[in-house]
C-alpha cells in the first residue's frame, strides 16, 4: 500500500510540472487558436538558458526562472512578429499554424543542435539529489520544489487572468475575437501579449525541467504528444482542465511504470490522446480560458 501511495505522490509532483509545461500551450490556443507544435522547443530553450546560467554563473535554476522566462518571451515576440501576426484573422489560421509551428520547431531544433549538439544535459543544484523522508515515504526535493513552484505559477496566472484588466481582455478575446474588437479591446496587442506570455511560461517550465529531466535539443519531439494529450484531455483552452488532466495522467503513468514497466508509462498519454479525440474532441472542460 505504501508503495502505491509513494508512486501517486511522485506522479503528482511530476504532473504539476507537466501542467506548467502545457499551460502556455493551452493559453496560446485559447486566445489565438494556434496549435503550437513549437511549444516544447521553447521549453528546451528555457532549459538550456537555466543550464548555462547555472554552469557559468552558479545561478540556481529556481532563481533563474525570471531570466529564462525573459529569454523565451523575447524569442516568442520575434517568432510571432515574423511568422504568426500577418494572417491572424484568417478563417484557416488554426490549420495554417500546425505547419508554421512545425517548421518553427524544426528551425529551432536545428539551431540548438548546431550550437549545443545532441548531448544530454541536466542541471545539478544541491537539492537535485536530496529527499525529504516522512516515515516510509520520501519526497525527492527536485520534484517537490518543481511541483510546488509550478502550481504557484499556474495559480498566479489564474489570478492575473481573472482579476486584471489585461487578463479580462485576454479571456474576452478567447471567447470571441470579433466581439472583443467591438467593445474596444486592442485584439492585436492582446494576441501578441498572449503569445509572449505563453512563451514566457514555457521558459519558466524549462528552468524547472532542467533539474528534473535530462534534456537535449531533439527532446522536444518526445514532449509534443504528451503535452497535446494534456491539452486535449483537459479541453483546448482550459487551464483548469490542463492541471487536472496532468495530475490524472501523470499518476496513471507512474502507476503503469511502477507496476508493469517504465517503458509503458509514456503510452498512457498517447492512449488518452487517441481515446479523447475519438469520443470527446473538446475535452473535459470545454474550450475557453478559465
Q: Is 87 a residue whose pLDDT tops 70? A: no
Q: At 257, list the grid cell.
A: 511504470
**Residue 158: Cβ-neighbour burial (10 angstroms; 0-12, 13-18, 19+):** middle
Residue 131 backbone dihedrals phi, psi, to 5 degrees = -150, 150
Among 9-18, 135-144, 205-214, 239-248, where is mean pLDDT lowest? 135-144
Q: Tell me the pLDDT tens digit for each residue of 149-174.
A: 999 999 999 999 999 999 999 999 98
Which carries the bigger pLDDT value, residue 273 or residue 56?
56
Give the Cα separation of 211 and 215 in Å (integer): 9
* CA nearest to 59, candidates 167, 211, 179, 191: 211
For position 200, what pLDDT does the model report?
97
> Domains along the chain?
2-129+140-279 (1.10.3470)
Answer with the residue of higher pLDDT: 284 or 61.
Answer: 61
Neighbours of 188 (CB within 10 A): 12
Per-residue pLDDT band for 30 (boundaries 50, 70, 90) equals confident
Does the pLDDT of residue 260 top 70, yes or no?
Answer: yes
Amino acid at each position: 500500500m505504501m508503495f502505491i501511495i509513494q508512486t501517486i505522490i511522485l506522479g503528482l509532483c511530476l504532473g504539476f510540472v507537466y501542467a506548467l509545461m502545457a499551460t502556455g500551450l493551452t493559453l496560446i490556443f485559447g486566445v489565438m487558436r494556434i496549435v503550437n507544435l513549437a511549444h516544447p522547443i521553447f521549453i528546451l530553450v528555457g532549459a538550456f538558458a537555466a543550464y548555462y546560467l547555472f554552469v557559468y554563473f552558479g545561478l540556481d535554476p529556481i532563481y533563474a526562472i525570471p531570466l529564462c522566462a525573459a529569454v523565451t518571451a523575447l524569442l516568442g515576440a520575434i517568432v510571432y512578429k515574423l511568422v504568426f501576426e500577418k494572417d491572424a484573422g484568417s478563417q484557416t489560421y488554426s490549420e495554417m499554424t500546425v505547419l508554421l509551428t512545425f517548421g518553427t520547431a524544426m528551425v529551432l531544433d536545428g539551431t540548438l543542435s548546431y550550437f549545443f549538439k545532441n548531448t544530454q544535459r541536466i542541471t545539478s543544484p544541491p537539492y537535485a539529489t536530496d529527499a525529504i523522508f516522512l516515515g516510509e515515504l520520501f519526497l525527492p526535493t527536485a520534484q517537490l520544489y518543481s511541483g510546488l513552484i509550478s502550481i504557484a505559477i499556474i495559480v498566479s496566472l489564474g489570478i492575473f487572468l481573472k482579476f486584471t484588466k489585461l487578463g479580462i481582455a485576454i479571456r474576452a478575446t478567447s471567447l470571441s475575437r470579433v466581439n472583443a474588437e467591438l467593445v474596444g479591446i486592442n485584439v492585436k496587442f492582446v494576441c501578441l501579449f498572449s503569445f509572449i506570455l505563453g512563451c514566457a511560461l514555457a521558459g519558466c517550465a524549462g528552468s524547472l525541467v532542467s533539474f528534473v529531466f535530462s534534456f537535449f535539443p531533439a527532446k522536444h519531439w518526445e514532449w509534443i504528444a504528451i503535452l497535446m494529450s494534456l491539452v486535449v484531455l483537459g479541453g483546448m483552452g482550459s487551464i483548469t482542465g490542463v492541471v487536472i488532466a496532468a495530475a490524472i495522467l501523470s499518476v496513471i503513468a507512474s502507476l503503469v511504470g511502477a507496476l508493469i514497466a517504465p517503458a509503458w508509462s509514456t503510452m498512457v498519454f498517447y492512449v488518452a490522446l487517441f481515446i479523447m479525440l475519438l469520443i470527446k474532441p473538446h475535452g473535459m472542460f470545454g474550450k475557453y480560458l478559465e
